[in-house]
Chains A and B, each alone.
Chain A
Amino acid sequence: MIILFLKNLNKLIRKNNFQVAFIIIILILFLITFTSLITEFSPLENNSRNRLQSPSFTHYMGTDEFGRDVFARVLYGARNSIQVGISVVILTIIFGGVVGILAGYYSKLDNIIMRALDGIMAFPGIIIAISLAAIWGGGKYNIIIALSFSYFPKMARIVRSSILSIKDLEYIESAKAIGASNSRIIFKHILKNSISPIMVQASFNFARAILDEAALSFLGVGIMPPNPSLGGMISDARSFITVAPWIITFPGIFIVIIVLSFNLIGDGLRDLLDPHLQNNY
């Protein structure tokens, strides 16, 4: 499968949607990495003389109710969002991977683990995340753990099912026959071959994590003010929608662009790895 993936990488890169999404993501990564060079404004510094100014050449996206530059806050907010997204994706892969491997490879554990996961999955993910973040008290690290906890069951299922489909193939049997250890079989043979469904799920998880982080911050249980977050900015700007609609518009558009790009990447990867769907998208 990994060879199939590499072979088709060319095809993927040639796809227009994928190209656009990829370029946008590189651009956003550039913007959030070199934020301090791009904008001279601080996301936290109040400036009461410049309150609620409309977009101009000094303040590209205007200023908010405390005179803070919206452009700087959007960039720093996006940086927080993307940090949360990346951490959630990594943690989900680790948690989901370990649990999925245990369930898929060791059939004695399968039933217990899967029933426990079914139990978690009976609760809508965002609701688990809101409740956990609220009880733990918000903040970047707490929402990362809360979101990872609500996403990992699905990842575990995906890892498990791809392990189940590979586990009984001849090459695994022959690896066992020549005396390879369980960990060698899992890491060298099985995981390598289940990497593609994991990647597809990871890119969708990233998009979801950005949306859910924004929702948590919007509700006041995510990234804590005055630290900038895209969801928090939208929440704060609600009182000013009639006088300063730009404060609410730009963070929203930024969320849409980031999420859209990752959804496009996820679609591209899925089409590539699932030949059945290839002609459909």
Chain B
Amino acid sequence: MPGDPVRVILGNMATEEQVIQLEETLGLDQPLIHRFFNWAKNIVRGDLGDSLYLNSSVRAAIINRIEPTFLIALMAQLIGGILGIFLGILAAVNHRKILDKLSITISLLGISVPSFWLSIILILIFSVWLRWFPVSGYEPLAEAGLSTFKYLILPSIALAFMQAGIIARITRSSILDTFKADYIRTARSKGLYRKTIILKHSLRNAMVPIITVIGHNFAILLGGTWIIETIFFIPGTGYLAINAIMRRDIPVIQGCIIFVALIYITVNFLVDLSYAFFNPRIKYS
């Protein structure tokens, strides 16, 4: 049975009595609906249960591993955002010229290259051949200080490439949309510098769709950390989740999924709030 945690814990040699006994200890003999409501009740209290293997509560396990995941997601989002917006502006400004085509090609590659493959290729080039970065592993920020980041650069770049692709595509089309607007024509006829028009008028107005797409695709980024952390052996929440999956540590799997959903919803809530900053016409009462 692939999904039965009791049999995974006890192994193939377990007797029926042992299985029944462990099921009782873990409360797995109770009816499904009863277990579900118990679980949901505890979730609301912030209690995610105890890991079947780690000898700690799920909440503690997640909190202990949050730092690298947070740093990777943040760096990937920053690199992806900056690169994507830059490529998008470059493409929009040089509409239908060679730089436009080049940036479209890069962004298309961004959304088509699997991040796990890209990370292995990056390891091969930058860690094995050039020896610039370590192949894998992690040292916490408190111990290693700034040298923590040398472990995080390759994973962040691998994740950022897809984000950059997605963001560049939406930046390009939303900036091109603003070019048709009257206020851009006004700005042009006032004789403003092209740079001012693009950065202050176009980009600011194009930010609302861009930020929406960033929020929606944060899910891909979070999913990506599960895979990337496994490749680089970075002990973050993604690594915890994948290991829990392999060991059928159901409470940890549930905890990690709830954690990811919580982050995803929070990020999208912040995205909603940021609309008012980029476009003051949007007001929240």
Please determine whether chains A and B interact with each other in the same assembly.
Answer: yes
Residues on A facing B (Cβ under 8 Å)? 122-128, 130-131, 134-138, 207, 211, 214-215, 218-221, 231, 234, 238, 241-242, 245, 248-249, 251-252, 255-256, 259-260, 263-264, 277, 279-281
Name A's interface SS.
helix
Q: Which residues of A contact B231 (CB under 8 A)?
A: 238
Q: Which residues of A contact B248 (CB under 8 A)?
A: 134-135
Q: Distance (Å) between the CB of B237 and the closest chain A CB? A: 11
Please tell me if the beta carbons of B120 and A241 are within 8 angstroms of each other in the complex: yes
Name B's interface SS.
helix
State the CA gap A251–B117 with chains docked (Å). 9
The one of B3, B108, B117, B220 that contacts A248, using a Cβ cutoff of 8 Å: B117
Interface centre among B112, B226, B265 (most CB of A within 10 A): B112
Instruction: Give the bracket for the number of chain B residues in contact with chain A.
Output: 35 or more
Please tell me if the beta carbons of B109 and A260 are within 8 angstroms of each other in the complex: yes
State the CA gap A268–B277 with chains docked (Å). 34
Please tell me if the beta carbons of B257 and A219 are within 8 angstroms of each other in the complex: no
Also in contact, A214 and B114, with CB within 8 A (given A124-B219, A263-B108, A281-B173) = yes
The stretch that binds A, out of B17-25, B39-47, B121-129, is B121-129
Can you pick out 5 interface pairs between chain A and chain B where the beta carbons lie within 8 Å of each other? A131-B245, A131-B257, A136-B3, A255-B114, A259-B114
Question: Which residue of the partner chain A has the closest CB to B116?
Answer: A218
Within 8 A of A (CB), among B240-263: 241-242, 245-246, 248, 253, 257, 260-261
Also in contact, A252 and B245, with CB within 8 A (given A260-B108, A260-B112) = no
Q: Which residues of B contact A260 (CB under 8 A)?
A: 108-109, 112
The one of B114, B253, B257 that contacts A252, using a Cβ cutoff of 8 Å: B114
Also in contact, A277 and B173, with CB within 8 A (given A130-B245, A252-B117) = yes
Residues on B facing A (Cβ under 8 Å)? 2-3, 108-109, 111-114, 116-117, 120-121, 123-124, 128, 172-173, 176-177, 219-220, 222-224, 226-227, 230-231, 241-242, 245-246, 248, 253, 257, 260-261, 264-265
Please tell me if the beta carbons of A126 and B114 are within 8 angstroms of each other in the complex: no
Q: Which residues of A contact B220 (CB under 8 A)?
A: 124, 126
State the CA gap A263–B113 with chains docked (Å). 11
The one of B114, B124, B222, B264 that contacts A245, using a Cβ cutoff of 8 Å: B124
Q: Which residues of A contact B219 (CB under 8 A)?
A: 123-127
Please tell me if the beta carbons of A218 and B253 are within 8 angstroms of each other in the complex: no
Also in contact, A242 and B128, with CB within 8 A (given A127-B257, A131-B253) = yes
Please tell me if the beta carbons of A124 and B223 are within 8 angstroms of each other in the complex: yes
State the CA gap A207–B112 with chains docked (Å). 8
Please tell me if the beta carbons of B112 and A259 are within 8 angstroms of each other in the complex: yes
Please tell me if the beta carbons of B176 and A280 are within 8 angstroms of each other in the complex: yes
Please tell me if the beta carbons of B173 and A280 are within 8 angstroms of each other in the complex: yes
Q: Which residues of A contact B114 (CB under 8 A)?
A: 211, 214-215, 218, 231, 234, 252, 255-256, 259
